[in-house]
Every structure is written in C-alpha cells, then in structure tokens.
Amino acid sequence: MRLNFIILLMVLVQTAGALFFIGDIGMSVLGIERQPIDWRLREAMEIGAAIALLIGLVLSGVLLLQSQRRLSRAEARLQRASGAFIEVVDESFALWALTRAERDVAFLLLKGFSTQEITGIRKTSEGTVKAQTNAIYRKAGVSGRGQLLSLFIDDLLAETHIPTPPIEPVSRA
Amino acid sequence: MSLRALFIRSVVVLAFIWAGPIQASDRRITPEMISVALLQQGYEIIAETRTLLGRVRFVASNELIWREVVLDLSSGQIIRDYAVEFSPSNPPEIHKDEMPRGGTVLPESSIPQLSN
C-alpha cells in the first residue's frame, strides 16, 4: 500500500519533469518566444528530476531483483516437480517389471515421439519398437499411449487437486 | 581487452573530459567580471545571489530594461542571460531580488555581451 503510494508519487514527479523538459524543448524547436521561467522554479525542477531519476533507478533495481528471485524460485519448484515426476515414472516402470529397452521406449512414448521417430532414435526396426510398445501397454494394463500418459497425469493431479463437492445452500427457516 | 583494462581506460578518458574546463581557466568567467561588465553597460545591480545549486544569479536594471544573468561557477559559463524591456506605461512590479515578469524579451543580438 505504502509502496504503491511512493510509486504513484514518483510517476507524478516524473510526469511533471518530463512535461517540463519536453515543453521546453518543444517551444525551443518551434521557435515560440517566451520569457524564461523563474530561475528558482527551474532549479527546483532540476532537483526534482534528479531525485526522481535516482529513485527510479533504485526502484527498478529492486523490482528487477525481486523478479529475478521469483524466477529462480519458480525454476527450483519446477525442477522439484520434474524430479518428483521422474520418480513416479521410475517407480511405475519398476512395478510393471519393464526391461531396460522397454523403459527407454516407454520414456520416449511419454515424451510424445512417434513409433518411426523411436525407431530412428534407438536404431532398431519398426517391428521391434512395436513389439516393445505392445509389451509396455500389456504390462501397464492400458490400451494405448493416451492411457499410459493418463496414468501419470492422474497421479500428479490426485496430489495437487482434490475436487470438493459443491456446497449446498443453507436453507433459512 | 579485459574488463579491468576497459574500466581503467574509461576512467582516464572521463578524467580528461572532466578536467577540460579546468585547463582552460583563462577563459573562465567570474562573478566579478560579470558585475564589472554590467556596471560598464549602464546597469544597476539589483541583486547578486547564490542559488540553491550553487550558481551565482544577477538581477540588474537599466531604467526599463531588466536583465538576469546566471553563472555556473564550476564550469565558469553563463547559463542564462536575457533581458526584458518594459514600456513606461506598464512598468514592472518589483519584488525584492526577483526578475520581474512581463514585458518584451529583447532579442539576443540587441543585448551587449558580458564575456569579451
């Protein structure tokens, strides 16, 4: 609240300073004749502009620092979430007793690669990849890639978002 | 070039730029020079004051012509010098050491120079 007030004040001071200097330049460029403004007022504007500049510098520094901190916090959170997801995936793969090759293929499936792309990456035949894919689906008890992915999405959502039943309106007697 | 070398080079360049006006001390204008010149040109010095930012400000009048001169002591340069002429029918309102408002601003060419 107080910071907002200071920012508002600074914007006002900077606007006044900008109008003053732009007006001065504009009248000079357009050749409008006028008596120069009172010297004391001029120096007051100079001082005001200098203070506004300094405060602007400090404020933008503080804001930059804050956003930098927020960004690194978000990145750390994302890293933690990503780590947790990999853990869940690994646990499931172990539970389904996937072979080493099947694990690799399953990871690629989760990442969204097509059978052909997986063939290219793993340098095997399409038949092998298809057989591995079918084995993965069978062991996981799903019918396709969408269901495989939804197993993990389910786990993620269950932890973070539990839907609550709508609250019944209280009847007043 | 390393960052350190760049920094040292910038400091040296800045120091030279800064030191420029000090080396040209023979061309620096002093408050005494201004007051002498104003008196020679027939002005009466109404006020000689130090401003908030350390400049010296003169307000002088020569009957209906009023002149304001501001000197920056650190650079030795005149940063304001203008004159206003009032008509006898509409004389200026004078408040202590203030430059009176109104009148017609005289073109620069018609004001005798102070720094010669």
Query: A6 and A67 share a domain?
Result: yes
The reported pLDDT for the residue numbered A69 is 95
Cβ proximity of A36 and B81 under 8 Å? no
Least confident of A101-115, B73-87, B93-107: B93-107
Look at residue A12 and tell me whether its pLDDT is greater than 90: no
Average pLDDT along chain A: 85
Q: pTM for the whole thing?
A: 0.57
Does B62 map to a domain? yes
Look at residue B47 and tell me whether its pLDDT is greater than 80: yes
CA geometry: angle at A112 spanning A110 and A114, to 5°?
A: 120
Chain A interface includes B84 (CB < 8 A): yes
Of residues B19 and B3, more confidence is placed in B3
Chain B interface includes A39 (CB < 8 A): yes
Does B36 map to a domain? yes
Bridge-based pairing state of the strands B77-85 and B56-62? unpaired
Query: What does the pLDDT look like over A107-118, one tens digit per residue?
Result: 999 999 999 999
Total tally of structural domains belonging to chain A? 2
Residues of B in Cβ contact (< 8 Å) with A44: 52
Tokens, residue A78 = 């994302």
Query: A6 and A71 share a domain?
Result: yes
Total tally of structural domains belonging to chain B? 1
Q: Which domain holds residue A116?
A: 96-160
Instruction: Tell me the mean pLDDT in the region A52-71.
Output: 88
Residue to test with chain A: of B46, B49, B52, most A Cβ within 10 A: B52
The reported pLDDT for the residue numbered A168 is 60
Using left for φ > 0, alpha for ψ between -120 and 50, and beta otherwise, residue A123 falls in left
Look at residue B38 and tell me whether its pLDDT is greater than 80: yes
DSSP designation for B39: H
Q: How far is CA A67 from CA A4, A59, A70, A74, in A?
A: 17, 12, 5, 10
At A50, is the pLDDT very low, low, confident or very high (cuts 50, 70, 90)? Answer: confident
The reported pLDDT for the residue numbered A173 is 47
Of residues B112 and B3, more confidence is placed in B112
Which residue in A33, A35, A40 is closest to B101 by CB distance?
A35
Cβ proximity of A148 and A142 under 8 Å? yes
Q: Which domain holds residue B67?
A: 25-110
Does B17 map to a domain? no
Least confident of A138-142, B17-21, B24-28: B17-21
Residues of B in Cβ contact (< 8 Å) with A31: none
Whether ipTM > 0.85 holds is no
Which residue in B51, B84, B99 is closest to A43 by CB distance?
B51
Does A83 map to a domain? no
Cβ contact A33–B57 (<8 Å): no
Q: Number of CB pairs < 8 Å for A and B?
A: 30
Does B46 map to a domain? yes
